[in-house]
Amino acid sequence: MIIVLKPNASSEVVEELLGAIEQRGLKPLHMPGTERVVLGALGDERMLHDLNLESHPQVESVKQILAPYKLVSREIHPHDTIVRIGNAAIGGNRFCLIAGPCAVETEERLRESAQAAKVAGATILRAGAFKPRTSPYAFQGHGEDGLKILAKVGQELGLPVVTEVMETADIPAVVEYADAMQIGARNMQNFSLLKAVGKAGKPVVLKRGMAAKVEDLLLAAEYILAEGNDQVVLCERGIRTFETATRNTLDLNAVPYIKQKTHLPIVVDPSHGTGIRDLVPPMALAGAAAGADGLMVEVHHDPAHAWSDGAQSLHPHQLKELSERLQGLLPVLGRSFA
Amino acid sequence: MIIVLKPNASSEVVEELLGAIEQRGLKPLHMPGTERVVLGALGDERMLHDLNLESHPQVESVKQILAPYKLVSREIHPHDTIVRIGNAAIGGNRFCLIAGPCAVETEERLRESAQAAKVAGATILRAGAFKPRTSPYAFQGHGEDGLKILAKVGQELGLPVVTEVMETADIPAVVEYADAMQIGARNMQNFSLLKAVGKAGKPVVLKRGMAAKVEDLLLAAEYILAEGNDQVVLCERGIRTFETATRNTLDLNAVPYIKQKTHLPIVVDPSHGTGIRDLVPPMALAGAAAGADGLMVEVHHDPAHAWSDGAQSLHPHQLKELSERLQGLLPVLGRSFA
Amino acid sequence: MIIVLKPNASSEVVEELLGAIEQRGLKPLHMPGTERVVLGALGDERMLHDLNLESHPQVESVKQILAPYKLVSREIHPHDTIVRIGNAAIGGNRFCLIAGPCAVETEERLRESAQAAKVAGATILRAGAFKPRTSPYAFQGHGEDGLKILAKVGQELGLPVVTEVMETADIPAVVEYADAMQIGARNMQNFSLLKAVGKAGKPVVLKRGMAAKVEDLLLAAEYILAEGNDQVVLCERGIRTFETATRNTLDLNAVPYIKQKTHLPIVVDPSHGTGIRDLVPPMALAGAAAGADGLMVEVHHDPAHAWSDGAQSLHPHQLKELSERLQGLLPVLGRSFA
Amino acid sequence: MIIVLKPNASSEVVEELLGAIEQRGLKPLHMPGTERVVLGALGDERMLHDLNLESHPQVESVKQILAPYKLVSREIHPHDTIVRIGNAAIGGNRFCLIAGPCAVETEERLRESAQAAKVAGATILRAGAFKPRTSPYAFQGHGEDGLKILAKVGQELGLPVVTEVMETADIPAVVEYADAMQIGARNMQNFSLLKAVGKAGKPVVLKRGMAAKVEDLLLAAEYILAEGNDQVVLCERGIRTFETATRNTLDLNAVPYIKQKTHLPIVVDPSHGTGIRDLVPPMALAGAAAGADGLMVEVHHDPAHAWSDGAQSLHPHQLKELSERLQGLLPVLGRSFA
């Protein structure tokens, strides 16, 4: 850690800080300059957390040298983690398609949409039973009844299922009926929930928050791994920016950046990332080209009458075509379609 | 609601949509133009939610005419709501100072910081027992033990207390020990939690999320009011932008805008809004001048050794001075210091 | 155009506005609702500009139905425009690689970097002679001397050249020595410059501004076309967001969105879009997969000693490898490498 | 400067960099840690610019210790600069009101609006003759004819005038007719223009760009001071964020932050900062409370018929009332109304 002191910092403060650094087992360094005094601390920077150096009245700024996360870091764990969801896998050289409707509407409707996902080559089925909605007057999901329908349709088609948990209280039911738990963008920093899914011992798909930096996403994943669960799939689904032409700004830069920093797999959600049906296929291909380990795509057998997210749901034939294009593209990228 | 159709929309679709609008009890309008057909729907737009017009393949765009929220709207409820927290009140002409340390650290330390708040004229004490932290390695709060200390110190000083709830499971304890529940920025769209605090029947301080538009904040409040709890204080605490000089960008525009749109009171948190101690007093004054109903400010008896947020916590004498300046400023603004 | 009036709008105002709409040759519509009066105006909305309806004290909001741009719109001009820069072309089914160093440094150094571009299959050479730099203490470019070097090296290698114009006064020299003029992100809304390049009659590469919505970019292009110059290539080079891991956030959503809205070609600049060398190849591939008509990439024979943008410049072998991967990828996308 | 090397950095690179630092007259420091090697360079960091350390393949990150600007810095020039525009002054304890319509429309109309400004206590008149407009189809200003009208009306009322320069070619005319040149937000990083106004020797009002960090604004001002012109007034006018309720997000945090960092005065423009007439007065007061040296406000004698920016222009009586409230507020803030 590098600590830049204010121009007027006293020599007493220099002594005090160097002593505190040494006391915590790090090697202190003193660099007196003409305009600022700079201090260094070599070793495990996490030991300095309780010093709260940013708060010190004579400290101008602090620069961390090491990443603030540890278990998710590729430096410590260089090999790709492969996350297994039912009989499917995410990570490594195979590319995974997760597809399904936004929400469980009725059993018949889910079955139709799920068949479309299966036909297109999806190996994991997605659909929400607990739905986070901006307005309290919008459809909120069927809850546990929806989970049962989801589990039934998944089993019929031989597809493992992933579905959202909105709070700790949802976890037991989701663990019973689903193969993986999804944390939505709005809950990415619901730390109580992160700890709880970390303990629940099922795979987690963790979506990036709308205002979350990549580092925040990795720290959110660190919460889950710190509870002993390393079966975490990250998901880039767009961030909120000033651009209003699309629902979100899909930040594909994050894909190769994250692949450098962590061993966890990352999938791209071009449905929420664009919010516009016709932009989903090109951005799905772009996500694959950027190096994602898979896609999470909304498909609906009848988008015009979907109960939610219809504007961004693919028609079955669009998902099929996308899948065929992916099968052409992936070998060029050194990957195979799972 | 105004519905703009795509250039190629068929007359069958026009008939279908007009029929659907009429069926839901709204008055349909047909406006055929040279380049686009435009449809209108006059009446309660919420009845059209399940049509999901945005998803229709022949719909280009949709414009809502009425606000999507209802109970929080000043149109329906023109008079200011005054929220009572213990013996204090927020809203109306009196200006309320909520102050205290970021977290409950120890009983002695809380007492010292709380006294500083009281001396400066704060009428509500704030401090966190459940702490949302970006990193799992940072201090996470004392939980229920912290709540007990907070309640004890609040009673000693005759100050009602507000403290954060991080998940539904925290509510019973917070309701027992505190006078108001705070929803943090990261949980503003934790809809399960919003519904639960709506049912818990204690006042709520709802902080704006880092990526939340004002409309999202009002819809989040609508969740709470929809459960029968109208004792909600909104809090502007800064949004996330590209500017890195300050921790967040305090959006004071939101204050007069929100006062126009809703009857609920709004306070400003210049501590999180800036992240820099010396910017807190001027931005606190700016918040008051913009028309806020109060402030929520972090103060610590010894910021250099605070366990969290020390860099943005005022020294006791700074809060005292700020309070004195507010007492000069508020009468000019037509308000009095509570 | 749809005009929503405030709840208290008077019938006199309704009459006044309907009259004004009719007077300008549009068809007025009157839609009295229970909570708001809505007016419509069918026809060429640009005729209403001088009414400044947004400013009217009894107008709540205005919704345009037609895009505010016209000449760049695909509705009016459905076929792809192909822009010819020297013997190269951008647009249509062929994919174009524009490459070169950030700046003209010396003739020898430019030659080495330009050869790397040529070897990798670039058909247009880029390099700056006038350099916009955030700091006045950074290298500002060689100006006209740089242009001469650029022209010389381009001719030697048979590559047309594109280079930035920073102000109207630069245009004559750039027109003399270069095959296309680039407008940088910081000048995207320098409207005087846009008009001047519109009149200069050479192709223009127009980079998206850091805070520019896609609509702003299209309106900036409209300025150029309105002067009679339709040889405009748009360039997505990243926008400024809260994410600091990368220099900018490359908004690839903009690529398929723009292809829908306009007939002009669009290229992607993954060098500025990421700011990090190792992210350039995957994001270049992603740009191609998203549907871009080409790439603009920085390459330097010795990035570690580049005078600017070294951190985001590819090594020659990296550009070569990228080019080979593109040649595998493009046929799958229905395109060929130019 | 602190230079963090990549984990695998070789000892040869360490030697090379330490040598290069020493050669440029700075004191090199070597801090070998367990996970990273960190180097330091104490002295004038600007001497290291040409090393382009960020580009070095074995450098992970670089942290500057000193601000990248110099002439604008309060460290070097601790006393407030007072900028004189005609017989008015900005900076120090007096608070300055700059007011006027968005654009020069006709002489009669300008006179009416200017009188409203004068009556309210404005000491500087603003109005645009060269107008930057997002659309080429919007009113573009009267150019030099507008300048003549502006000069005439200003003289009649005894008010110095400030007006925008859109490019270098506009400068001679603006210098002839106006007392100060304004650089608009879209031109804040038009570096050619910055240099040219630096040489023109008249005061400059420099507006913050929509995507500009405070540091970018200060570096833009540095361009002007580097040409020998220190008569620069900064202007906060809102940045572009995801919030769409207001035209921009007025970043008042920037006001006290900038007052710490630079000796130059700063004014706030609540008209562009909000885009909504009724939000202008509260945000003007908030700007004053945050510590601004003045305001720049749009006023129009008939906003409903203004040719541009009518929605954000105050009515004359509103400016008068605002001025009266400011006169009550400023003494409490230790300032007087100029």
Interface confidence (ipTM) of the complex: 0.94
> What does the H/E/C string look like for D201-212?
CCCEEEECCCCC
Contact B31 C43 (CB under 8 A): no
Taking alpha carbons only, the member of A285, A297, A271 closest to residue A333 is A285
Counting as contact any 3 or more CB pairs under 8 A, the partners of C are A, B, D
Residue D167 has a CB neighbour count (10 Å cut-off) of 21
The class level of CATH for C83-337 reads alpha beta
Q: Tell me, what's the pLDDT at D36?
A: 85
Mean pLDDT for the stretch of residues D279-295? 98
Q: Least CA distance to C284: which residue of chain A?
A: A290
Taking alpha carbons only, the member of C127, C157, C129, C165 closest to residue C145 is C129
What are the boundaries of each domain within chain C? 2-63, 83-337
Distances in Å between the alpha carbon of C107 and those of C150, C153, C284? 8, 8, 28
Is the pLDDT at B188 greater than 80? The verdict is yes
Q: Tell me, what's the pLDDT at C138?
A: 85
Calculate the average pLDDT of chain A. 94
- Decide: helix, strand or coil at residue D143: coil
Contact C260 A251 (CB under 8 A): no
Q: Tell me, what's the pLDDT at B197?
A: 97
Q: Number of C-alpha atoms within 13 angstroms, CB side, residue C30?
A: 10
pLDDT digits (tens, 9 = 90+) for B110-120: 999 999 999 99
Is the pLDDT at D34 greater than 80? The verdict is no
Q: What is the distance in angstroms between the CA of the first residue and the CA of the last residue of chain B?
A: 43
Is the pLDDT at D47 greater than 90? The verdict is no
Residues of D in contact with C139 (CB under 8 A): 49-50
C-beta separation of B167 from A168 below 8 A: yes
Alpha-carbon distance of A206 to C268, in angstroms, equals 29
Contact D31 A38 (CB under 8 A): no
Is the pLDDT at A288 greater than 80? The verdict is yes
Q: Tell me, what's the pLDDT at C36?
A: 85
Alpha-carbon distance of D289 to A291, in angstroms, equals 50
Amino acid at A244: T
User: Which residues of chain C have a pLDDT value below 70?
Assistant: none
Q: Tell me, what's the pLDDT at C120?
A: 97
Q: What is the distance in angstroms between the CA of the first residue and the CA of the last residue of chain D?
A: 43
Band (pLDDT 50/70/90 cuts) for residue D30 is confident
Counting as contact any 3 or more CB pairs under 8 A, the partners of B are A, C, D
Q: Least CA distance to B60: which residue of chain C?
A: C65
pLDDT digits (tens, 9 = 90+) for D113-132: 999 999 999 999 999 999 99
pLDDT digits (tens, 9 = 90+) for D246-277: 999 999 999 999 999 999 999 999 999 999 99
Report the percentage of chain A scoring pLDDT > 70: 100
Shared fold status for A2-63 and A83-337: no
Is the pLDDT at A214 greater than 80? The verdict is yes
Residues of B in contact with A170 (CB under 8 A): 192
Q: Tell me, what's the pLDDT at C139?
A: 86
Q: Least CA distance to B217: which residue of chain D?
A: D243
C-beta separation of A283 from A325 below 8 A: no
Amino acid at B126: R
Q: State how far residue C116 is from chain A, nearest Cα, in angstroms.
A: 23
Residue A255 has a CB neighbour count (10 Å cut-off) of 27
Mean pLDDT for the stretch of residues B225-235? 97
Taking alpha carbons only, the member of D244, B263, B71 closest to residue C61 is D244
Band (pLDDT 50/70/90 cuts) for residue B33 is confident
Is the pLDDT at A24 greater than 80? The verdict is yes
Element spanning D62, H or E: strand D59-63
Alpha helices in chain C (DSSP H): 11-23, 107-119, 144-157, 171-177, 191-200, 214-226, 254-261, 270-274, 280-290, 316-332
Dihedral (CA of D297, D303, D305, D311) sign:
positive
pLDDT digits (tens, 9 = 90+) for D182-210: 999 999 999 999 999 999 989 999 999 99
Amino acid at B265: P
The class level of CATH for C2-63 reads alpha beta
Nearest CB to D219 within list C49, C135, C239:
C135
Alpha-carbon distance of C94 to A150, in angstroms, equals 45
- Decide: helix, strand or coil at residue A12: helix
Q: State how far residue C333 is from chain D, nearest Cα, in angstroms.
A: 33
Is the pLDDT at A114 greater than 80? The verdict is yes
Q: Least CA distance to D248: which residue of chain A?
A: A242
Report DSSP letters for D70-114, one per residue: -TTBTTTS-SPP-EEETTEEEBTTEEEEEEE-SB---HHHHHHHH
Q: Which of B64, B234, B236, B252 is best to mutate for the D interface (most D CBs within 10 A)? A: B252
> What does the H/E/C string look like for A264-289?
CCEEECHHHHHCCHHHHHHHHHHHHH
Question: DSSP strand E in chain B: where?
Answer: 2-5, 27-32, 37-42, 59-63, 83-85, 88-90, 94-100, 124-126, 161-164, 180-183, 204-207, 232-236, 266-268, 294-298, 336-337
| Opening angle at CA D14, ends D12 and D17, nearest 5 | 105
Q: Tell me, what's the pLDDT at A50?
A: 77
Dihedral (CA of A206, A208, A210, A212) sign:
positive
Counting as contact any 3 or more CB pairs under 8 A, the partners of D are A, B, C
Mean pLDDT for the stretch of residues A63-75? 89
Is the pLDDT at B46 greater than 90? The verdict is no
User: What one-character DSSP code corresponds to residue C48?
Assistant: G
Q: Tell me, what's the pLDDT at C308?
A: 87
Taking alpha carbons only, the member of D31, D71, C137, D10 closest to residue D1 is D31
Element spanning D116, H or E: helix D107-119
pLDDT digits (tens, 9 = 90+) for A223-281: 999 999 999 999 999 999 999 999 999 999 999 999 999 999 999 999 999 999 999 99
Calculate the average pLDDT of chain D. 94
Contact D134 C216 (CB under 8 A): yes
Which token pair is B62?
Answer: 């949709």
β-strand pairing of C83-85 with C88-90: antiparallel
Element spanning A221, H or E: helix A214-226
Q: Least CA distance to B29: which residue of chain C?
A: C31
Q: Which of A88-102, B55-69, B196-210 has the lowest mean pLDDT?
A: B55-69
C-beta separation of B241 from B249 below 8 A: yes
The owner of tokens 């700056």 is C128
Band (pLDDT 50/70/90 cuts) for residue B61 is confident
Q: Give the D-side interface with A, CB within 8 Å.
A: 2, 4, 7, 27, 29, 31-36, 38, 40, 42-43, 63, 65-66, 75, 240-242, 244
Q: Tell me, what's the pLDDT at C275?
A: 95
Residues of B in contact with C43 (CB under 8 A): 33-34
Mean pLDDT for the stretch of residues B54-58? 85
Contact B35 C2 (CB under 8 A): no
Q: Tell me, what's the pLDDT at C27?
A: 87
Nearest CB to C257 within list A241, A279, A291:
A279
- Decide: helix, strand or coil at residue B28: strand
Alpha-carbon distance of D53 to A144, in angstroms, equals 57
C-beta separation of A60 from A5 below 8 A: yes
Band (pLDDT 50/70/90 cuts) for residue B91 is very high
Calculate the average pLDDT of chain B. 94
Cβ within 8 Å of residue C71, ≥6 positions away:
C77, C222, C225, C226, C230
Is the pLDDT at B277 greater than 80? The verdict is yes
Q: State how far residue C161 is from chain D, nearest Cα, in angstroms.
A: 22
Q: Tell me, what's the pLDDT at D295?
A: 98
Is the pLDDT at B181 greater than 90? The verdict is yes
Q: Which of B42, B46, B210 is best to mutate for the C interface (most C CBs within 10 A)? A: B42
Mean pLDDT for the stretch of residues D138-160? 95
Under the phi-then-psi rule, with left for phi > 0, alpha for psi from -120 to 50, and beta for the rest, what region is C81? beta
Report the percentage of chain D scoring pLDDT > 90: 78
User: What one-character DSSP code corresponds to residue B268?
Assistant: E
Is the pLDDT at B50 greater than 90? The verdict is no
